[in-house]
Amino acid sequence: MCRFLEEQWPNYGDPNTMSLEHGWSVMEPDALKIGMVSKFHAADGLCVRAFYETTGLRKRGHDVHAFTQSKKGVPLAEDHIHRFTAIQLNPHISWDRPDTPKFIAKESERLGIEVLHVQINSGSTEGLLPLFRRYLPPLVTTFHLAYADGSLLQKIFFEMAWKASMFYTRRYDHIILVDPSQRNWILQMGVPEEKVSVIRNGVDVDLFSPASSEREDDYVDFVFVGRLSPDKGVDLLLDAFKRYHLENKKTRLTLVGDGILKLLLDGQRNGDDIHWLGTLPHHQIPNVLRSADVFVIPQNIGGIGMSVLEAMACGLPVITTAVGGTKQLVNADGGVLVEPNNVEAIVDAMRQLAENERDRKRIGRQARKRVEKYYSWSAQIDMIEDVYEKVRQMSASQ
């Protein structure tokens, strides 16, 4: 979803253009030098969050440098991007060159980096950096990995990934969680409570906004945006839509994204009932959402998904699973929650929203208000700055 995110700002590589067009200020006396260790190029929520955090911190006057394997998508001038070599195992994870931690340590010292912020689930370097703590500034991490509530195989895989990630994540100076439901899991692993904060994902409520006018046709359009993979429930969605479409021909489904289940969509790029758009630049996603009536993502993993927030910001009611923090985000004010792996429940939710236009629009308006109130990026950046100040004070007192 964030591939080609930089297309929103075609001149993002020019620091002069950045300052004039986007209000990026010179470094303030109390500003920090921050190192952001992350991928930026993949079509996933981690990249969207890294993009907006980097941009938001830079707008606050902080001097942000990126340490990354990504060749595209980094919203910084080229002299603030420090790339390392990596083998991309898939679009979402990489095997980084073994000496990358040493490279980051040396560059951090040269640049005077005061806080190093690592987005967990980017590459192999995140597991090695805590071993170099004596050579690094305070280490903050955002923990993105969610837990699964799907098939037995998914549960086993995600549990293994959790344990492997937590083995090194707990050695960071502070852990930022994106979902409140992750908190108990982290504390059960022996992480002190004072080292844990919950800072949810945010959304650009200006970019993602409701349609300015009503559609004139009498179709009900469902839309999915995300990774085409079993953990996002794409196979369940296709099955449910096909069943409901048999009883209501005035329905269509549009899917945006890429992944291992794209084989299920062969021949659907220009289908009449099911339309697959592939991966789109992030700034085009709002128009796709505005042309729809209901957002559907029957995911089997916990976590407040970026795509759910963006759909709600566009005024769409959401059909999703009652997993993790999504249970608090999407309730009667935001959409319909269904049980994981329950195709019939998805069909019932589609029927409920498709056949009651008044309720559908009312829930969409409430969803927009909820996101505006609690999930703006400005509020999230405030909390991230507080974490940085906390770890710097702790480091100074040691």
**Mean pLDDT of successive 10-residue stretches along the chain, which has 398 residues:** 38 35 47 95 86 96 96 95 89 84 96 96 85 93 68 59 73 91 83 93 93 88 92 93 96 92 73 88 94 94 81 95 75 83 96 95 93 88 96 88
In a domain, 145, yes or no: yes
Q: Is residue 118 located within the same domain as residue 144?
A: yes
Q: Is residue 347 located within the same domain as residue 382?
A: no
**Tokens encoding 79:** 């002299």
Give the pLDDT confidence score for residue 296 in this predicted structure: 97
**Tokens encoding 106:** 């040396």
Q: Is residue 46 located within the same domain as residue 173?
A: yes
Q: Is residue 36 located within the same domain as residue 162?
A: yes
Give the pLDDT confidence score for residue 22 in this predicted structure: 37
Give the pLDDT confidence score for residue 10 in this predicted structure: 39
Give the pLDDT confidence score for residue 148 in this predicted structure: 47
CATH number at residue 80: 3.40.50.2000
In a domain, 214, yes or no: no
d(CA 100, CA 104): 6
Q: Is residue 154 located within the same domain as residue 19?
A: yes
Give the pLDDT confidence score for residue 53 in this predicted structure: 96
Give the pLDDT confidence score for residue 155 in this predicted structure: 59
Q: Is residue 19 located within the same domain as residue 133?
A: yes
In a domain, 194, yes or no: yes
In a domain, 322, yes or no: yes
In a domain, 208, yes or no: no
In a domain, 335, yes or no: yes
Q: Is residue 178 located within the same domain as residue 289?
A: no
Q: What are phi and psi of 120, to 5 degrees?
A: -70, 140
In a domain, 23, yes or no: yes
d(CA 12, CA 19): 10
Q: 246: domain range?
A: 220-374
In a domain, 206, yes or no: no
Q: Is residue 130 located within the same domain as residue 240?
A: no
Per-residue CA distances from 341 to 28, 149, 234, 237 (Å) = 51, 9, 11, 10
| Number of separate domains in the chain | 2
Q: Is residue 369 located within the same domain as residue 383?
A: no
The pTM score is 0.78
Q: Is residue 118 located within the same domain as residue 239?
A: no
d(CA 150, CA 320): 13
Q: Is residue 181 located within the same domain as residue 52?
A: yes
In the block, residue with structure tokens 């009932």: 273
Q: Is residue 295 located within the same domain as residue 191?
A: no
Give the pLDDT confidence score for residue 2 in this predicted structure: 41
